[in-house]
Chain A
Amino acid sequence: MNAEAERRAAWRASLAVGLAVSAYGVSFGALAVASGLDIWQACVLSLVMFSGGSQFALIGVLASGGTAAGPAAIAGATLLGLRNGLYAIRVSPIIGPGWAKRLLAGHLTIDESTAVATAQPTLASQRVGFWATGAIIYVGWNLMTLLGAVLGDLLGDVRQFGLDAAAGAAFLGLVWPRLRALQPVAVAVGSAVVAAVLLPALPQGVPVLLAALVAVVVGVPNLFGRRVAGEEGA
């Protein structure tokens, strides 16, 4: 493929991923309002936090625990945002130097922009993939959040429309692509059991944080995992 064809391929991938992800900003906006946020609070989350998993986690804990669960909600959103830090380390060489450019890239560093960028074959097409995906989702996600929040506000009783059930399905959709090996499946089952057992015993938000420890218990000794070459003694 020549350079021009590679850039066009990166654009196509960005558009496909960007439009699909943006569409479900509607469900975030509607669920945020159902969780007790007003329209502006839902929009600020999408504008500033701009990370789907963390946003859903924050409103999920607030929906069940209210502002009393604030610290747990913040901790959950922050822990889910840790992976963005790893993505930033990976795409940093793609972005190149210049602090203003890197600051903007930082805001757009999410699952999808990283995935599209790192799937491209050359540095030039990786740059197109990162910026195009990030920009399309940023604009689309925020517009759809506003639309969803306005609709959710008009709907009123969200249980009647099953919106409370949509939250669990949204989390399932976020975790689904990550369950391709035994290790993540073991962690998913383990943390689900821990959360269910602790749910009646502890204040809202806390069971989710304790369930995250399953990842440390499995991940540090690499239980259920494949040995990677050169990892002996790590």
Chain B
Amino acid sequence: MTIWQIILLASILVLGIKLLGYLVPPRVLEAPTAARTAELTTVALLSALIVVQTIGAGQGIIIDARLPALAVAAGLFALRVPFILVIVAAAATAAGLRALGWG
């Protein structure tokens, strides 16, 4: 697949899901198992993505400056610091550690 094919196919699927929801009668949400599992799927995917983004290196694991950057981000989110500032702080942590020659 080319990168354009991947982008267009994924975009159409994600947009399609939104539009499909408008064709479903609202009483479907009264089935709690479906609603609960869908919400938990979001949590599971995001958590797995954090791990892959933070210690993944191709097909393998590397501990580098990304891990302390994530720890800084977690501390700042706990302190309710706005999203964009946390992202900047995380990037700055990794950049700083690398400038010092680690990770």
Measured CB to CB, the residues of A under 8 A from B are: 20-21, 23-24, 26-27, 36-37, 41, 44-45, 48-51, 53-54, 56-58, 60-62, 64-65, 67, 70-71, 73-74, 76-90, 92-93, 95, 102-103, 105-107, 109, 159-176, 178-179, 183-184, 187-192, 194-196, 199-200, 202-204, 207-208, 211-216, 218-220, 222, 225, 228, 231, 234
Closest beta carbon of chain B to A106's beta carbon, Å:
4
Asked whether, in the complex, the Cβ of A175 is within 8 Å of the Cβ of B47, the reply is yes
Closest beta carbon of chain A to B60's beta carbon, Å:
5
Which B34-64 residues sit within 8 Å CB-CB of chain A?
A: 35-61
Asked whether, in the complex, the Cβ of B10 is within 8 Å of the Cβ of A222, the reply is no
Closest beta carbon of chain B to A167's beta carbon, Å:
4
Asked whether, in the complex, the Cβ of A106 is within 8 Å of the Cβ of B21, the reply is yes
Q: Say yes or no: A195-B52 contact (C-beta < 8 A), given A74-B10, A92-B22, A173-B73.
A: yes
22 CB < 8 A contacts A-B: A44-B7, A45-B11, A49-B15, A62-B6, A82-B41, A83-B42, A85-B24, A86-B29, A88-B22, A107-B19, A159-B94, A161-B91, A162-B69, A166-B91, A167-B53, A168-B90, A172-B74, A175-B50, A184-B39, A189-B47, A202-B59, A215-B43
Q: Say yes or no: A204-B58 contact (C-beta < 8 A), given A106-B21, A168-B53, A192-B50.
A: yes
What class of interface size applies to chain B in its complex with A? Answer: 35 or more
Closest beta carbon of chain B to A22's beta carbon, Å:
10
Q: Which residues of A contact B86 (CB under 8 A)?
A: 169, 173
Asked whether, in the complex, the Cβ of B41 is within 8 Å of the Cβ of A73, the reply is no
Asked whether, in the complex, the Cβ of A165 is within 8 Å of the Cβ of B10, the reply is no
Closest beta carbon of chain A to B28's beta carbon, Å:
6
Q: Which residues of A contact B2 (CB under 8 A)?
A: 67
Asked whether, in the complex, the Cβ of B53 is within 8 Å of the Cβ of A175, the reply is no
Asked whether, in the complex, the Cβ of B53 is within 8 Å of the Cβ of A60, the reply is yes
Determine the distance from Cα of A76 to Cα of B10 in the docked complex, in whole angstroms: 9
Determine the distance from Cα of A58 to Cα of B53 in the docked complex, in whole angstroms: 12
Asked whether, in the complex, the Cβ of B18 is within 8 Å of the Cβ of A106, the reply is yes
B101 sits at the interface (CB 8 A): no
B100 sits at the interface (CB 8 A): no
Asked whether, in the complex, the Cβ of A162 is within 8 Å of the Cβ of B53, the reply is no
Instruction: Choose from B1, B3, B45, B65 the contact partner of A165 (Cβ within 8 Å).
Output: B65
What per-residue 1/0 map shows which CB atoms of B57-89 lie under 8 Å from chain A? Answer: 111110001100110011001000011101110
